[in-house]
């Protein structure tokens, strides 16, 4: 019930978000009609359509993406016809093209009699175009859908979100109706008001057609509403919360006793450690996995703390909790630890025993433990490294350490370990196996566990992707079946990475990368040459793109010149 309330409130907050602007002209164009017959059906159609389309997007089937793409085009034509009719009433009589005539008749009916059915259809068209910004609350709903699959609960949560937005718009519509009525009475300007609304509707259609609703307005909206939504989540105790960022001088609470480390299946760089043997030491437990880009970007700071405070009584323990099957391979983990230069103890948690003991849900996750074996703070995800280091210093001081007056560690990473450009990253982590795949545009969707020749459908919308040629798509990975099999992704981020593995028996697989159908040149990532060539040699994360210039929507192509590559996921930064 709490999630439904949050979803509803998150939707209601969209009224203060710039991303709602393209929808407002269609809503206010009905403001001079009876609310029950006109405004209410429009808002209902808009809410239900948004919930349905968002639910289909969570499934990620290519047919759903194609249907919504065509739906947006039809909706734009219908609503453009509606705007033209408002501007030029005589146009309806001369309309000859079927879709324009449909839009004209639809608008003419609704302008003559209030038309509840016509308003409902206009609401459906508006819902197809509505791309609300994925603030923390909507992000929570869609992330759950992506991880667990779409369900009735997901659709109901999305409907609650849309109902919240519709409620705000209904209030605005009721107020707007009074304003328009007053203008007509006092100015006698009914015709000019209607024509003005027609102009605004056409401007909104043009803005949506040009992608302004999902580009600049999305970034503005994230800046304007995310703090409100995140504050709501924090107050109601939903989603990840960090306790490491405490005010200077404020006491660090006791969050519980440190769980056992006995469930580790192996130890690297150390004999097995126990919580009893660590008493008297300050301990930082870092949950990570070696193909996780967020973990890799936080790693330079963890390594810096381990080195800087080792002689002050700090013990850093990396708990390697695998996500993909290949990360369970101890040889792979040992190789990654060596390649990454990790010198502190690493517990291999292949059975998730330590993960479950901490009740953890995140990569990376940092738990700060005092000399008495008590958890005093935690931090989930990247960022706020200064706050985390201050917690370490405070716990060391409590434990009797001296000489802690120096500055904070400067631990900037390079390559894939460099900090993300979070202010211009609009593409999310995307899995390529059918179990968690979202955004695939192949016409028949993903065929489970069967060798299939996929016809590519080049994605025109951001964060959509397609297989090209022969692939066998499994639950968590896809394996290429012929030379030159490829993947295409439309993305928006500075960096693009892929989690990849070589062919059978570890046979290297050559690949070639293109950006907007050209070699990447200066935008090549750390694992790619300027001409776009590279080789998959081990199962790990590969940095394929690092844009040097302004970040914008780009089309990424990768062709695997040899068969047998394993493709697991895209990540961005």
Task: Please tell me the predicted confidence (pLDDT) of residue 219.
Answer: 41
Residues 197 and 263 reside in one and the same domain: no
Residues 400 and 443 reside in one and the same domain: no
Residues 334 and 409 reside in one and the same domain: yes
Task: Please tell me the predicted confidence (pLDDT) of residue 343.
Answer: 95
Residues 556 and 446 reside in one and the same domain: yes
- How far, in Å, CA of 530 to CA of 121, rounded? 51
- How far, in Å, CA of 368 to CA of 370, rounded? 7
Question: Residue 89: is its pLDDT beyond 80?
Answer: no
Residues 439 and 538 reside in one and the same domain: yes
Within-domain flag for 245:
no
Task: Please tell me the predicted confidence (pLDDT) of residue 64.
Answer: 44
pLDDT, one tens digit per residue, over 495-536 is 999 999 998 888 999 999 999 999 999 999 999 999 999 999
Residues 207 and 62 reside in one and the same domain: yes
Q: Verify cis geometry, omega within 30 degrees of 0, for the bond prior to 87.
A: no
Domain boundary, last residue among 236, 269, 297:
236
Closest to 411 in 3D by CA, of 543, 285, 298: 298
- Between 386 and 165, name the one with better pLDDT: 386
pLDDT, one tens digit per residue, over 291-328 is 888 888 899 999 999 999 999 999 999 999 998 888 88
Domain boundary, last residue among 393, 417, 441:
417
Within-domain flag for 246:
no
Q: Among all chains, which residue has been given the structure tokens 């040889």? A: 331
Within-domain flag for 532:
yes
Task: Name the band, by pLDDT with cuts 50, 70 and 90, for residue 113.
Answer: very low
Residues 404 and 442 reside in one and the same domain: no
Within-domain flag for 249:
no
Question: Residue 462: is its pLDDT beyond 80?
Answer: yes
Q: What are phi and psi of 536, to 5 degrees?
A: -90, 115
Q: How many angstroms separate the Cα of 366 from the Cα of each of 282, 287, 387?
A: 13, 7, 12
Expressed as residue numbers, the domain containing 386 is: 256-417
- How far, in Å, CA of 240 to CA of 436, rounded? 21
Average pLDDT, the chain: 77
Residues 385 and 265 reside in one and the same domain: yes
Share of the chain above pLDDT 70, in %: 61
- CATH number of the domain enclosing 391: 3.40.30.10
Mean pLDDT of 437-459: 92
Within-domain flag for 433:
yes
Residues 47 and 162 reside in one and the same domain: yes
Domain boundary, last residue among 360, 393, 417:
417
Number of domains in the chain: 3
- Between 252 and 102, name the one with better pLDDT: 252
- Between 130 and 109, name the one with better pLDDT: 130
Residues 155 and 82 reside in one and the same domain: yes
Q: Under 8 Å CB-to-CB from 116, ≥6 apart: which residues?
A: 36, 37, 38, 41
Taking the C-alpha atoms of 244, 246, 251 and 257 in order, what is their torsion angle to the nearest 10 degrees?
-20
Within-domain flag for 247:
no
Task: Please tell me the predicted confidence (pLDDT) of residue 515.
Answer: 96
Within-domain flag for 248:
no
Task: Please tell me the predicted confidence (pLDDT) of residue 176.
Answer: 61
Are 31 and 39 spatial neighbours (Cβ–Cβ below 8 Å)?
Answer: yes
Question: Residue 272: is its pLDDT beyond 90?
Answer: yes
Residues 522 and 428 reside in one and the same domain: yes
Residues 412 and 445 reside in one and the same domain: no
Task: Name the band, by pLDDT with cuts 50, 70 and 90, for residue 45.
Answer: confident
- CATH number of the domain enclosing 491: 2.60.120.260
Mean pLDDT of 56-63: 47
Within-domain flag for 356:
yes
Determine the length of the chain: 573
């Amino acid at each position: 019930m709490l999630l439904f309330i949050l979803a509803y409130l998150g939707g209601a907050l969209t009224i203060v978000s710039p991303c709602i602007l393209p929808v407002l002209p269609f809503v206010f164009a009905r403001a001079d009609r009876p609310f029950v017959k006109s405004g209410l059906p429009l808002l209902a159609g808009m809410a239900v359509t948004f919930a349905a389309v968002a639910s289909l997007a969570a499934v990620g089937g290519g047919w759903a993406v194609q249907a919504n793409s065509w739906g947006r085009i039809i909706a734009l034509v219908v609503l453009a016809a509606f705007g033209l009719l408002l501007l030029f009433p005589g146009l309806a009589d001369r309309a000859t093209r079927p879709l324009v005539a449909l839009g004209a008749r639809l608008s003419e009916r609704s302008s003559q009699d209030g038309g509840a059915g016509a308003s409902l259809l206009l609401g459906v068209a508006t819902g197809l175009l509505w791309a609300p910004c994925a603030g923390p609350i909507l992000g929570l709903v869609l992330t759950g859908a992506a991880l667990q699959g779409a369900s009735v609960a997901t659709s109901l949560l999305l409907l609650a979100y849309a109902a919240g937005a519709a409620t705000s718009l209904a209030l605005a519509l009721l107020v707007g109706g009074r304003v328009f009525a007053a203008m007509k009475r006092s100015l006698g300007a009914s015709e000019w008001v209607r024509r003005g609304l027609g102009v605004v509707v056409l401007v909104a259609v043009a803005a949506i057609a040009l992608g302004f609703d999902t580009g600049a307005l999305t970034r503005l909206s994230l800046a304007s509403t995310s703090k409100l939504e995140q504050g709501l989540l924090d107050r109601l105790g939903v989603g990840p919360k960090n306790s490491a960022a405490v005010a200077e001088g404020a006491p660090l609470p006791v969050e519980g006793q440190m769980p056992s480390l006995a469930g580790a299946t192996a130890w690297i760089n150390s004999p097995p450690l126990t919580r009893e043997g660590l008493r008297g030491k300050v301990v930082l437990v870092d949950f990570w996995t070696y193909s996780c880009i967020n973990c890799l970007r936080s790693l330079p700071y963890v390594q810096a703390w381990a080195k800087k405070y080792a002689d002050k009584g700090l013990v850093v323990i990396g708990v390697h909790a695998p996500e993909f099957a290949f990360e369970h391979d101890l040889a792979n983990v040992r190789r990654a630890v060596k390649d990454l230069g990790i010198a502190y103890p690493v517990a291999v948690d292949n059975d998730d025993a330590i993960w479950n003991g901490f009740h953890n849900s995140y990569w990376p996750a940092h738990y700060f433990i005092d000399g008495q074996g008590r958890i005093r703070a935690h931090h989930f995800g990247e960022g706020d490294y200064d706050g985390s280091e201050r917690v370490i210093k405070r716990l060391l001081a409590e434990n009797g350490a001296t000489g802690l007056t120096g500055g904070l560690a400067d631990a900037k990473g390079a390559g894939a370990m460099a900090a993300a450009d979070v202010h211009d990253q609009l593409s999310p982590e995307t899995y390529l196996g059918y179990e968690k795949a979202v955004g695939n545009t192949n016409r028949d969707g993903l065929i489970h566990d069967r060798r299939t020749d996929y016809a590519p459908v080049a994605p025109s919308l951001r964060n959509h992707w397609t297989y090209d040629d022969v692939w066998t798509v499994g639950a968590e990975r896809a394996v290429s079946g012929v030379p030159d099999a490829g993947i295409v992704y439309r993305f928006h981020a500075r960096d693009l990475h892929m989690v990849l593995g070589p062919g059978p028996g570890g046979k290297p697989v050559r690949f070639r990368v293109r950006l907007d159908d050209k070699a990447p040149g200066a935008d090549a990532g750390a694992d790619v040459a300027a001409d776009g060539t590279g080789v998959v040699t081990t199962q790990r994360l590969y940095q394929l793109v690092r844009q040097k210039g302004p970040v914008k929507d780009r089309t990424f192509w990768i062709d695997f010149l040899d068969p047998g590559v394993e493709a697991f996921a895209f990540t961005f930064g």
